[in-house]
């Protein structure tokens, strides 16, 4: 069995991404709230996952975006930099292209409204539903938040219950609380 040097392996992965030979590239990003699996297509950032099981997530990425899936750090570098700045308190908004093309229209509409919730502020599910011109759809908005493919960047942690309490978060309430504390929304 032949082993490949880490440098050669990295150059291969970078070349595959650079030459657009991938449907989706992914890598892992360390953060104060755990390791994140981050995936991007040629259109933009497509997925952020907490506690991802790599093999299962690679299969899911292949089913969703296409079979050419490869761990390749280069396409993720800008996302990694912006996430690091966010966690260091130096970034309040993300400037990344996003790939939401495979989402249903309602989901995209809600996520566009979610992206407008400012750093350090919170909104209820009902308020977000009203902003999306669907005032009776608070429960449906909750489902969209639970399935948000880009937590942190599309800040579903900023959505709280009607009673002002932290409820529901795909990454766990302890992460939601940590993100809101980081932003100064919780004392």
DSSP state letters, 88-104: TT--SS----B--TTS-
Sheet holding 69-71, edge to edge: 44-50, 36-41, 24-29, 69-71
DSSP tag of 157: G
Catalytic residue among 22, 128, 154, 156: 156
User: What distances in angstroms separate CA 36 from CA 13, 65, 80, 84, 118, one per listed residue?
Assistant: 19, 19, 10, 12, 23
Query: Catalytic: 100?
Result: no
Residue 134's SS3 state is coil
Contacts of 70 (CB under 8 A, 6+ apart): 13, 16, 17, 22, 25, 26
Q: Active-site residues: which are they?
A: 156
């Amino acid at each position: 069995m032949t082993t490949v040097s880490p440098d050669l392996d990295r150059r291969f992965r970078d070349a595959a991404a650079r030459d657009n030979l991938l449907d989706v590239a992914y890598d892992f990003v360390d953060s104060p709230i755990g390791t994140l699996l981050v995936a991007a297509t040629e259109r933009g950032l497509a997925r952020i996952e907490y506690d991802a099981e790599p093999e299962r997530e690679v299969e899911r990425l292949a089913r969703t975006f296409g079979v050419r899936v490869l761990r390749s750090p280069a396409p993720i570098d800008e996302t990694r930099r912006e996430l690091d700045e966010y966690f260091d308190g130096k970034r309040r908004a993300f400037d990344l292209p996003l790939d939401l093309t495979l989402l249903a229209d309602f989901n995209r509409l809600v996520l566009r409204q979610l992206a407008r919730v400012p750093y350090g502020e919170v909104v209820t599910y009902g308020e977000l539903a009203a902003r999306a011109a669907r005032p009776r759809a608070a429960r449906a908005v909750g489902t969209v938040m639970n399935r948000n493919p880009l937590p942190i960047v599309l800040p579903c942690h900023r959505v709280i219950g009607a009673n002002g309490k932290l409820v529901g978060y795909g990454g766990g309430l302890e992460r939601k609380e940590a993100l809101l504390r980081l932003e100064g929304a919780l004392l």
